[in-house]
Amino acid sequence: MLILSSIAGIFGALLPYYLSRKHQLDAIKASALPSLAIGIIALIVEKSCNAPIAYELALVFYGASFVGMVNYRVLPQYFQVAICGFIFSILYLNASSFFNGFGGGLGTAAGITTIALYGLIKIPVLKRLVLKKDK
């Protein structure tokens, strides 16, 4: 489940990001269109093959698509968005039940992963600011 969820998280984040950057779709459409397609495919697979994992993978893809809505100025590289999608899938598998009541677990988890990676990227900048103020 971990490998499949990670793949769904990575592609779920990258596809909307790609559609937004390269095809100039707004973030909501770039997230909604692939999520709708994956949701329909998951429904068909779940009903025809009796595979409940398809529903979970569709949820991971949908939640990771919120990560893919990030502006390119915040996360400018595809690799960074892919890392966020991976982290989202890990967070979803391990802690999604803790986010009930926080405006939706999927969106909250996507926000946490994006903010965390953005903060890690900015740490060298923060170090430079702190060192300049000490002098």
The whole-model pTM stands at 0.86
Structural domain range at position 62: 2-134
Q: In this structure, are residues 111 and 35 in contact, taking their beta carbons and an 8 Å threshold?
A: no
Q: How confident is the prediction for the chain on average, in pLDDT?
A: 88
Q: Over range 37-51, report the average pLDDT.
A: 91
Q: How many domains does the chain have?
A: 1
**Residues 49-104: pLDDT tens digits?**
988 889 889 999 999 999 999 999 999 999 999 999 999 999 888 876 676 655 57
Q: How far apart are CA 73 and CA 48, in angstroms?
A: 42
Distance from the Cα of residue 110 to its chain's centroid: 5
User: What's the pLDDT score for residue 1?
Assistant: 81
Structure tokens of 70? Answer: 């990030």
Residue 12's Cβ-side half-sphere holds a number of Cα atoms within 13 Å equal to 32
pLDDT at 22 over 80: yes
The string of DSSP codes covering 5-49 is: HHHHHHHHHHHHHHHHHHS---HHHHHHHHHHHHHHHHHHHHHHH
Q: In this structure, are residues 99 and 108 in contact, taking their beta carbons and an 8 Å threshold?
A: yes
Helix (H), strand (E), coil (C) string for 89-111: HHHHHHHHHHHCCCCCHHHHHHH
